[in-house]
């Protein structure tokens, strides 16, 4: 399998090349030259597999430069009950009728990002050891990516992590998870701004090819294809758990800000997984919902990015969205570059509403969307708790709220659970009056010593810090 850029660079690259590289040299994101297809017979055979075995089968379709035995060992090492709390890894539970929850938050940091990040950490360590090299990871987080990356990379040979986050915009629990890690290879940088400012810094550094090469800069954000690929696996697992017939359809509702999680669903659907709808659930920062309703993709400035009670989705520039638009436009790299580089830099938006392909977003690719507000998530959390005795986090509540408006009789709707409620305790208490349960390993985490550097949203200062600590 070879990989190409969404912005037109057709130079074929193998998986391990792009694993360590992040963005393509032309600023685009990597995608496979083609999506491998999975037929119904294969789906049937996969029903008997463990999650680690399923991961190996799917990853093998995209990775041909890691020996099969080594790749299998990496999957077996990653997806264990000891790490994820259950042998099912991502158990599906019925909430009401055809509405189900797929639990993705049983990992070390209680968020769905662990599903991919634990594998990514093992892949990095494996490939760097094979090459005898080191890697400096520069990331941006709105809450969960950072802690998942740091927990996955702490102690990994040959890896340093420099994680940027928007100062004061994560929940106290999220901040404590990250900033209390005192490992020598972990560096936390709190940026004065919003998540998009952090993400812009990561992209700017990645686009400085000389600096990137000299300091061995890699990424763990979902712009890294390896992370997104790992997320594809749980779509297949959810489908196999929710159905008994290989021709049956399911839908997925996905809380989304950066379009990474739901983009993995798009890849699974392109591979042939019988997904009826991919429901994009946004919060008040509803850039993606606006696009799927109108065809207008309008990036919003920092001052227009709302601080909400589902903070991991407080994003107004969806990096992974470029991958979908590449497919929507027939893989026209020049057109994608004109939209995501030229049009966005010039006017902060583009409009596909009048183009015939826009209708294909729903008709051909299955995308629908909706927005959830603070009041919506309070009511949803309160309703689910009252009816089912179950607490859900704020982002999952956004997913449930939007999912309920897109149900199809007889078609299971799987809401991807993005985090455990304890990460957003203040809103859970506001909704229900109940303090969410806290795993014993996180008792008193907010009181632990913390190490974090405050910094303005300045690319040069971030570069200087990386240079001084490598």
What is the rounded CA–CA span in Å between residue 410 and residue 248? 10
DSSP bridge partners of 160 = 136
Q: Running DSSP on this structure, what letter comes out for residue 300?
A: -
Asked if residue 369 lies in contact with residue 403, where contact means CB atoms within 8 angstroms, the answer is no
**What integer pLDDT is reported at residue 220 of this predicted model?**
83
pLDDT of residue 313: 93
Instruction: Output the pLDDT for position 302.
Output: 84
Query: What pLDDT is recorded for position 32?
Result: 97
- Report the distance separating Cα 108 and Cα 170, nearest Å: 18
Q: What is the dihedral of CA 25, 31, 33, 38, to 10 degrees?
A: 160
Give the pLDDT confidence score for residue 280 in this predicted structure: 98
Q: For residue range 179-230, what is the model confidence (pLDDT) as tens digits?
A: 999 999 999 999 999 999 998 999 899 889 899 999 999 888 788 999 999 9
Give the list of residues 6+ apart from residue 461 with CB closer than 8 angstroms, or none.
Answer: 455
**Residues 423/174, Cβ–Cβ less than 8 Å:** yes
Fold (topology level) of 92-110+225-432: Rossmann fold (3.40.50)
* pLDDT at position 277: 98
Tell me which residues of the chain have a pLDDT lower than 70.
none
Would you name the residues annotated as active-site residues? 113
Interatomic CA distance for residues 430 and 413, integer angstroms: 27
Q: Indicate the helix (H) or strand (E) that contains 234.
A: helix 225-242
Helix, coil or strand: residue 348:
coil
Neighbour count for residue 134 (Cβ, 10 Å):
13
Name the DSSP class of 419.
Answer: B
Q: What is the pLDDT of residues 119-161, one digit of tens each?
A: 999 999 999 999 999 999 999 988 788 899 999 998 888 899 9
Place of tokens 């029903």: 47
Element (H, E) at 64: none
User: Strand 159-166's sheet: what is its strand order?
Assistant: 217-218, 135-140, 159-166, 186-192, 453-456
Among residues 356, 337, 336, 347, the alpha carbon closest in space to that of 295 is found at: 356
Structure tokens at 248: 């049956």
Q: Which two tokens stand for residue 67?
A: 């020996």
Given the structure tokens 């037929």, which residue do they identify?
39
Quick one: three-class SS letters along 151-206?
A: HHHCCCCCEEEEEEEECCCCCHHHHHHHHCCCCCCEEEEEEECCHHHHHHHHHHHH
pTM reported for the whole predicted model: 0.93
Q: What is the CA radius of gyration of the chain?
A: 21
Task: State which H helix or E strand residue 8 sits in.
Answer: none
**What's the N-to-C CA distance of the chain in angstroms?**
33
| Phi–psi pair at 124, nearest 5 degrees | -60, -50
């Amino acid at each position: 399998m070879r990989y190409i850029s969404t912005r037109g660079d057709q130079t074929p690259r193998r998986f391990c090349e792009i694993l360590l590289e992040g963005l393509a040299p032309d600023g685009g994101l990597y995608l496979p030259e083609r999506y491998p297809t999975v037929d119904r017979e294969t789906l049937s055979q996969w029903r008997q597999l463990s999650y680690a075995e399923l991961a190996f089968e799917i990853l093998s379709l995209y990775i041909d430069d890691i020996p099969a035995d080594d790749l299998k060992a990496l999957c077996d090492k990653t997806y264990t009950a000891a790490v994820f709390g259950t042998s099912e890894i991502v158990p599906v539970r019925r909430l009401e009728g055809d509405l189900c929850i797929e639990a993705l938050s049983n990992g070390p940091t209680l968020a769905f990002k662990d599903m991919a990040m634990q594998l990514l950490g093992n892949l990095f360590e494996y490939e760097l050891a094979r090459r005898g090299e080191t890697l400096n990871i520069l990331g941006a987080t709105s809450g969960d990516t950072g802690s998942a990356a740091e927990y996955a990379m702490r102690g990994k040979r040959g890896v340093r992590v420099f994680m940027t986050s928007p100062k004061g915009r994560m929940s106290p629990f999220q901040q404590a998870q990250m900033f209390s890690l005192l490992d020598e290879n972990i560096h936390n940088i709190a940026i004065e701004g919003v998540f998009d400012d952090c993400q812009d810094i990561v992209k700017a550094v990645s686009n400085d090819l000389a600096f990137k090469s000299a300091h061995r800069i890699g990424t763990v954000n979902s712009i890294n294809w390896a992370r997104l690929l790992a997320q594809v696996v749980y779509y297949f697992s959810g489908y196999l758990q929710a159905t008994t017939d290989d021709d049956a359809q399911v839908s997925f509702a996905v809380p989304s800000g950066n379009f990474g999680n739901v983009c993995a669903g798009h890849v699974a659907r392109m591979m042939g997984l019988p997904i009826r709808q991919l429901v994009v659930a946004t919060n008040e920062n509803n850039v993606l919902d606006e696009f799927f309703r109108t065809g207008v993709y309008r990036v919003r400035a920092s001052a227009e990015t709302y601080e909400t009670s589902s903070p991991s989705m407080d994003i107004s520039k969806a990096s992974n969205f470029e991958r979908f638009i590449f497919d929507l436009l027939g893989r026209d790299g020049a057109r994608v570059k004109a939209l995501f580089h030229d049009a966005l830099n010039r006017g902060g938006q583009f409009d596909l509403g009048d183009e015939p392909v826009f209708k294909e977003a729903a008709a051909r690719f299955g995308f629908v969307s909706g927005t959830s507000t603070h009041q919506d998530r309070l009511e949803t959390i309160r309703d689910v708790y009252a009816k089912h005795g179950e607490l859900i986090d704020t982002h999952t509540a956004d997913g449930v709220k939007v999912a309920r408006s897109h149900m199809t009789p007889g078609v299971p709707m799987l809401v991807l659970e993005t985090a455990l409620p304890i990460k957003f305790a203040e809103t859970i208490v506001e909704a229900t009056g109940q303090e969410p349960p806290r795993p014993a390993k996180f008792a008193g985490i907010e009181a632990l010593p913390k190490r974090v550097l405050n910094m303005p949203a300045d690319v040069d200062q971030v570069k200087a810090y990386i240079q001084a600590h490598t």
